Amino acid sequence: MFLVLAAVWGSAFMAIKAGLAYFPPVLFAALRYDVAGVVMLAYAAYVVDDPIPRGRDEWAVVAVGATLVIAAYHAFLFIGESDPAVTSAVAAVIVSLSPVLTTVFARAFLPSERLTVVGVIGLVVGLVGAVVLAAPDPSNLAGGGTVPKLLVLLAAASFALGSVLMRASDDDDLPIETMEAWSMLLGAALMHLLSLGLGESIADVAWTAEAVLALGYLSIAASGLGFLIYFDLLDRLGPIEINLVSYVAPVFAAVSGWLFLREAITVNTVAGFLIICAGFALVKRTAFRDALREYGVLG
């Protein structure tokens, strides 16, 4: 499930880049979650007894998801990436800070989720791998576009904080499908308000086949399927470990770029992937050891 999530979210960067040529950024993100939210609400109505959150605590979880994980993260990310100064490589490096930021927030809100020293080393190794894979130009990192780069950093921070706060709520009665659907719908509404405030208009959209494909893939695969897996793994693994997906997703972004956009897979891609695997193994070393013992590899 973790690898499927990394695959759909990694390939989503390609769809975002394609779609930004036809949509205003915040409106693009809002339309994405209009579609995804309706689809997920229909799915929730089918699979759970009550697809509507009940009580203050359940709506509080939805509000955190809608505000931080959906609206803030995607609005900041889409606006930041729409600036020419923020290349895919730069954005990938910034977003890969999410596990580090999650660790920082977890120290304040989830003391039980703190990593050991070896785990922290694993986070750092994974970040190094993401930097190697993205191969950013140092002169470009230090160049123009400071505000858009800060917006992408705010996106990563919003996602990390939202993950920690949702985990801290400890509301086991709210079904994942219900929480996801309403977070998407309310998050989309917030982004529509922001889009109007920024002067974006549906008249600015160029409805081409590529635009529809990009919107459809982001809505159904990256949003619907992706967040269904994400919230399930968030409950099972905790925010620090699940947000390691931002280290692995660039690998799938590189592969999808090679398959669909003819982008070359360089030595940096392979080296970065191997370093990421090493960092991930450090963080998950106990799980790997238990699995090896279960299958008789270790005594």
Question: What is the average per-residue pLDDT within 137-166?
Answer: 78
Asked whether residue 133 is domain-assigned, the answer is: no
Asked whether residue 127 is domain-assigned, the answer is: no
Q: Would you say 210 and 18 are in contact if contact means Cβ atoms under 8 Å apart?
A: yes
What tens digit of pLDDT does each residue of 251-289 get?
787 777 777 767 666 777 677 777 877 877 777 677 667
Mean of all residue pLDDT scores within the chain: 82
Asked whether residue 282 is domain-assigned, the answer is: no
Give the separation between CA 126 and CA 215, rounded to whole angstroms. 30
What tens digit of pLDDT does each residue of 105-118 get?
877 676 666 667 77
pLDDT surpassing 70 at residue 170: no
Range of the domain at 242: 1-119+141-265
Structure tokens at 291: 């699995």
Number of domains in the chain: 1
Comparing 225 with 235, the larger pLDDT belongs to: 225
Contacts of 267 (CB under 8 A, 6+ apart): none
DSSP code of 52? S
